[in-house]
Amino acid sequence: MATGTDQVVGLGLVAVSLIIFTYYTAWVILLPFIDSQHVIHKYFLPRAYAIAIPLAAGLLLLLFVGMFITYVVLKNQKVTKKSQ
């Protein structure tokens, strides 16, 4: 069973994810249909970032996953050589 702290952290992560998803959805799907002179456009980055930010985040994720896998494989090889 999760402790109270775990539940609060989980709720916070879900809330942040929901806010990011809502912002990105409005930015990418709804904003192109709103007049470019409307006030709401000042709350959003230029559209070029709508592709660049998720692309950079995805590449960083792949980098960290690759580094983790490399670390685990190298660590397991060292353990195997010591036991032989």
Predicted TM-score (pTM) of the model is 0.69
∠ Cα 32 13 72 (to 5°): 105
Question: Containing domain of residue 44, as a range?
Answer: 4-83
What is the per-residue pLDDT for 78?
80
Residues 6+ apart with CB under 8 A from 27: 44, 45, 50
What is the per-residue pLDDT for 63?
98
Q: Report the domain count for the chain.
A: 1
What is the per-residue pLDDT for 30?
92
What is the per-residue pLDDT for 84?
66
What is the per-residue pLDDT for 80?
74
Average pLDDT per consecutive 10 residues, the chain (84 residues; last block may be shorter): 90 97 93 91 91 95 97 87 69
Q: What are the CA-CA distances from residue 17 to residues 13, 38, 44, 64 (Å)?
A: 6, 27, 17, 20
> Which amino acid, one-letter code, is at 72?
V
